[in-house]
Amino acid sequence: MPKLEKITLVTGANKGIGFEVARQLAKKGFRVFVGARNEKAGRAAAVKIGRAAKFLKIDVSDPGSIREAASELAKTIDHLDVLVNNAGIIVDGDDAILKTTSGQFETTMRTNALGPLLIAQAFQPMLAKSSAPRIVNVSSSGGQLHDGADGWSPVYCISKTALNGVTSQLAAALPKFAVNSVCPGWVRTDMGGTNATRSVEEGADGIVWLSAEAPQNLTGKFLQDRKVIPW
């Protein structure tokens, strides 16, 4: 009986950490779906990765787009092994909690916390057909509560705290899945900026490890550099 191919969906995979995760997983033999809302950039990224990659149009802030993407993917594959919720945003002006607007808050939460939850719900039936389903939520140490906040991009940080809560709840609801949050560190991307301390390869490492190599019974945790860290 032929071995089933490993299949992954990475959101926000047209650039930055998401692209690097998709590229590395393709090199490991995964069939990769490059999730992005920008069709031109997404298709170009898939071509750059190679034959193992295919573009999937998905806007993680739009419930309708998420449902359409799940329906579209179900026409192409019979199972999904790994979902990497990587897409995320920092909105302009997110620099002072006392000046945060409802628009800034809702826009950020819709993409960074609600989006990953709705995507997990939509793709869960395909993931359930995998022998070892995994959900990897790309979070941030800025979302940690254990050591207090420093005031940096407060709405973004709150959204990552919420994403960590989503991770914990999904892990409880999906006991046969490995569901974890991961902090890639401060990475040189459009979001991280040129002064960041890590390359995209270094940022992608822990995400790829959780997607492809970590123990299946490692679930409901927050990790950085392949080690569990406090929530």
Its pTM stands at: 0.95
Q: How far is CA 104 from the centre of its chain?
A: 21
E strand segments, 42-152: 53-57, 82-85, 134-138
Q: How far is CA 117 from the centre of its chain?
A: 11
Please report how many Cα atoms fall inside a 13 Å half-sphere around the Cα of residue 86, on the Cβ side.
32
Rounded Cα distance between 8 and 55, Å, is 12
3-state secondary structure at position 165:
helix
Note if 156 is an active site residue: yes
pLDDT tens for the 231 residues of the chain, in order: 345 789 999 999 999 999 999 999 999 999 999 999 999 999 999 999 999 999 999 999 999 999 999 999 999 999 999 999 999 999 999 999 999 999 999 999 999 999 999 999 999 999 999 999 999 999 999 999 998 889 999 999 999 999 999 999 999 999 999 999 999 976 566 666 677 667 778 889 999 999 999 999 999 999 999 999 999
Domains observed in the chain: 7-228 (3.40.50.720)
Spot the catalytic one: 123, 156, 177, 222: 156
